[in-house]
Amino acid sequence: MLTELLEDFWAIREKNVIKIKELKEQGRKVVGIYCTFCPNELVIAAGAIPVGLCGTRDEPIAAAEETLPRNLCPLIKSSYGFAVTDTCPFFFFSDLIVGETTCDGKKKMFEIMGELKPVHVMQLPNLKGDGLYFQLWVDEIRRLRARLERELCAGISDEALWEAIDLVNRETRAVKEICDLNRQDPPALNGLELLAVVWSKGFSADRSGVVDMLVRLKEALVERQFQAAAGKSCCCPGPGREATSVPQWSRPRVLLTGCPVGLGSEKVVRLVEEKGGAVVAMENCTGYKTLELETGREHDDPIVALAHKYIRIPCSCMSPNQYRLELLERMIADFNPCAVVDLTWQACHTYNIEAYAVERLAAEKGLPYLHLETDYSASDREALKVRIEALLEMAR
Ligand code: SF4
Ligand code: SF4
């Protein structure tokens, strides 16, 4: 049962290519998004399907480098590479692309991507709080609403928006509950399983179906933990559990932070697990970064409610970005890691510079810390292995 449920998550992306194609033929619209700052509640409320397009594979990067500079973050190059080579079915199906002015590389890439598809770029303030910056963000979300209505020929009522908000809140809660099962030792999911569940859900055309899948998965994981505690079974092997024969309970627990990771760009997660560590939690956009954030009902205007939620995302493009450190501190207390791995994609200046503060936090908590700057290629695998091995030795 549990194995099948996990396999369903591994298969979401593939299955939904066909599903989205069928829905497009029936007239449904698709909106491609690249970042967690895009309020996908608006897309859902417009009756369209939001799909995550962030590039997580190395293959299209060479094509992207014909236009973009080589010393750019691989996530940006991969995203653009998929678009320009027309090799991502989700990009192909997208009627509109939504980007944000998060980092410099992304915002300039969106200008060029606009030659391929209609692109709407949200101007994101770099500062949280009330006042002028917040008002700008509220206006940007209203501007997105108007663009979606125009581009998708669909009205977005407040009622539909509150319904979409409830759905996304339920999904956030369901994902968080699964991630939180990894507070226990042994963790409920290994790093690759965790990634497959949290990352893959973004490709589903059926949001409430995904919430049901998450609820069923949580129940099955709780049951497995209960059986294991009762001595009836050990952690059963599932997809991704074959990396090494080291049992989950004897592995040094690792907290991964930094740039987003997806299937295809999971080499650091894979190496930690291959070398005998357990990635028990990820504080990044494909992990815990947004899981404490739900849209509240205390505001009458759903746009203002959404603005309050999204402006709190602790991305390194925010300055200052104190909430990330607070979140990391809570995660260290809750997930009890033995070490912190901080991943920076090459040329990502904001995460690279924040590594200074993360290292200091890890030192304060007495945790071994490893900052890795890498790209999507396999060229530095051996060097990474050595550094990860050394970290896990210190953590044992
Ligand atoms: S790390 Fe920042 S820019 Fe990248 S996806 Fe997350 S929120 Fe967006
Ligand atoms: S990883 Fe860094 S450089 Fe790359 S898109 Fe995200 S914020 Fe920008």
Share of the chain above pLDDT 70, in %: 95
pLDDT at 236 over 50: no
| pLDDT value at residue 234 | 47
Q: In the chain, what are the domains?
A: 23-155 (3.40.50.11890)
For 368-396, how does the pLDDT look when each residue is reduced to its tens digit (9 = 90+)? Answer: 999 999 999 999 999 999 999 999 999 98
Place of tokens 């505690």: 229
Distance CA 304, CA 290 (A): 18
| 237 φψ region: left (φ > 0), alpha (ψ -120 to 50), beta (else) | beta
Q: Which ligand is nearest to the CA of 106?
A: 2
Is 258 a residue whose pLDDT tops 50? yes
| C-alpha to C-alpha distance for 72 and 19, rounded to whole angstroms | 34
Residue 243 phi/psi, 5° resolution?
Answer: -50, -50
Q: How far is the CA of 22 from the centre of ligand 1 (A)?
A: 30
Question: What is the tens place of the pLDDT at every residue in 303-356?
Answer: 999 999 999 999 999 999 999 999 999 999 999 999 999 999 999 999 999 999
Centre of ligand 1 to C-alpha 8, Å, is: 26
Write down the pLDDT at residue 91.
Answer: 97
Q: Confirm or reject: Cβ of 75 under 6 Å from ligand 2.
A: yes
pTM, to two decimals:
0.94
Rounded Cα distance between 104 and 158, Å, is 33
Q: Is the CB of 39 under 6 A from ligand 2?
A: no
The mean per-residue pLDDT over the stretch 272-278 comes to: 96
Q: What single string gives the DSSP state of each residue in 99-168?
A: EE-SSHHHHHHHHHHTTTS-EEEE---S--SSSHHHHHHHHHHHHHHHHHHHHHT----HHHHHHHHHHH
- Ligand 2 neighbour 103 (Cβ under 6 A): yes
Number of the ligand closest to the Cα of 315? 1
pLDDT confidence tier of residue 275, bands split at 50, 70 and 90 = very high
Give distance in angstroms: CA of 288 to centre of ligand 2: 17
pLDDT band at 246 (very low <50, low <70, confident <90, very high): low
Among protein residues, the one with the nearest Cα to ligand 2's atom 3 is 348
> How much distance in Å is there from the Cα of 176 to the middle of ligand 1?
18
Q: Is 152 in the pocket of ligand 1 (CB under 6 A)?
A: no
Strands (E), 303-365: 339-345
Cα 155 to Cα 140, 141, 146, 159, distances in angstroms: 18, 15, 9, 11
Rounded to whole angstroms, the Cα distance separating 216 from 203 reads 18
Report d(CA 267, CA 17) in Å as an integer: 25
End-to-end CA, the chain: 33
Q: How far apart are CA 121 and CA 183, in angstroms?
A: 37
Whether the Cβ atoms of residue 351 and residue 341 lie closer than 8 Å to each other: no
- DSSP-derived secondary structure letter, 30: E
343 lines ligand 2 (CB under 6 A): no
Instruction: Give the per-residue pLDDT at 113.
Output: 98
Q: Model confidence over 114-137: pLDDT tens digits?
A: 999 999 999 999 888 778 999 999
Q: pLDDT band at residue 247, thresholds of 50, 70 and 90?
A: low
Is residue 237 pLDDT above 70, yes or no?
no
